[in-house]
Amino acid sequence: MNSRYPSSAPDILKLFAAKEADRVDVAVLQPADPFLDMAGEDLRRRIFLTESETGESLCLRPEFTIPVCIDHIRSQSGTPRRYCYLGEVFRQRRDDSNEFFQAGIEDLGDTDTARADARSIADAHAMLELALPGTALSVVMGDHSVFEAVLAALGLPRGWRLRLARAFGSAEMLASALADLATPPRNGALAEPAASLVADGDFEGLSAHVARGMEEAGLSPSAGRTPGDIARRLIEKAELRSVRLSNEAFDALKAFLAINVPISEATDALRGFAADASLSLGAALDKFTARAAALESHGLPADVVRYDAAFGRPLDYYTGMAFEIAVRDDGRPLVGGGRYDRLLTLLGAKEAIPGVGFSVWLDRIEYLRKGSQ
């Protein structure tokens, strides 16, 4: 075992072997675009960027999910397939600990998504029990797809659904979006020709205009949002300003976000909410119910897992269940994970491949292990 590895590594590798997950190593240097396009605003700000000799935008790997999925596509491996990893990731952090270890499992291609989701949560919990024996843990779970089903059932326009879906997982962004939904902001002043392009909804024309402006200012699209991202947001903002949600619909949305119950009570809570608001949550609620039943079969203590309707994780590629595990009464997560059914298609897979996985912050585990000695 490499002496630089955390002391919890042997226990974690034993669990990997027991879970029949194939260990993979992915390159430290990765193409930057997939992370800039799909990883979310928070992670984008923390990436270490560089360039190849040919001008390709590269980065030090800030996480493992995207590289593992890219390597799976390149290998043309069949599914279902389980991968595990243990290695360093690189992110800019306030405490200057920019290089640290993560471990995790990515579960690709299992079409029984309820079973795969439950197994991911159970495996992550088991990993922490091995690394931190005797520690009281708590799991918080949310569901991006249930949130989006509520937005659709409330009849929100596509622009608002996209904005709120992007904000899901960030309490600050979600609060800001809800405040704007309650009281739409006034029109901002845009110079011509951007103002006309926005008013016409001319995405291609506005993208080209933004690209020219970035080029003239010497800004690289790889340094942040692309011209298309900026154009899309400007058009969406214009559409959002024209929408006012009824008091009844706004109250229903707030009532949904206030749901926070043990997982054993979550299905009934969602059904009660839907009945009270006269909404149909359709397949999203059916999948949630199946996942809750599958999770129960893993035997986690009833008081360990809670469903928080307002909980998500700030990674753009999540499409369904998301979860974090922490030491009970300590909000700092030790594990984060979730479902990402669109990610592999966006990365170039020819067919849709469902996926779910989790990562463990080993530096945080090491801190707790040393504190208990």
pLDDT tens digits, one per residue of 182-213: 776 555 567 788 877 877 778 888 888 888 88
110 vs 209, more confident: 110
Q: What is the pLDDT of residue 347?
A: 95
For the domain bounded by 9-149+255-371, which CATH number is listed?
A: 3.30.930.10
Cα–Cα distance, 355 to 225 (Å, whole number): 26
pTM above 0.85, yes or no: no
Cα–Cα distance, 373 to 371 (Å, whole number): 6
Q: What is the pLDDT of residue 170?
A: 85
Is the pLDDT assigned to residue 275 strictly greater than 90?
A: yes
Asked whether 91 and 43 are in contact (CB, 8 A), the reply is yes
Q: Where is 360: in which H helix or E strand?
A: strand 355-361
What radius of gyration do the chain's Cα atoms show? 22
Cα–Cα distance, 69 to 107 (Å, whole number): 10
Sheet holding 49-51, edge to edge: 29-31, 57-60, 49-51
Q: Taking residues 207-234, what's their average pLDDT?
A: 77
Q: Cα angle at 94 between 89 and 96, to 5 degrees?
A: 60
Residue 173 — very low, low, confident or very high, per pLDDT cuts 50/70/90? Answer: confident
Average pLDDT, rounded, for the chain:
88
30 vs 212, more confident: 30
* Helix ranges restricted to H, the chain: 9-18, 33-38, 41-44, 65-75, 113-131, 144-153, 158-167, 171-182, 194-200, 203-216, 227-240, 247-257, 263-277, 282-296, 343-346, 362-371
pLDDT tens digits, one per residue of 282-332: 999 999 999 999 999 998 877 899 999 999 998 888 999 999 999 987 778
Q: What is the pLDDT of residue 73?
A: 96
Q: What is the pLDDT of residue 191?
A: 76
For the range 329-336, what are the long-range contacts, defined as Cβ-Cβ under 8 Å and sequence gap of 24 or more? 329/136, 329/138, 332/364, 333/361, 334/128, 334/132, 334/137, 334/360, 334/361, 334/364, 334/365, 334/368, 335/124, 335/127, 335/128, 335/359, 335/360, 335/361, 336/361
Q: What letter does residue 6 receive in the DSSP assignment?
A: -
Q: Where are the domains of the chain?
A: 9-149+255-371, 194-240
Closest CA to 134 of 360, 299, 327: 327
Q: What is the pLDDT of residue 109?
A: 96
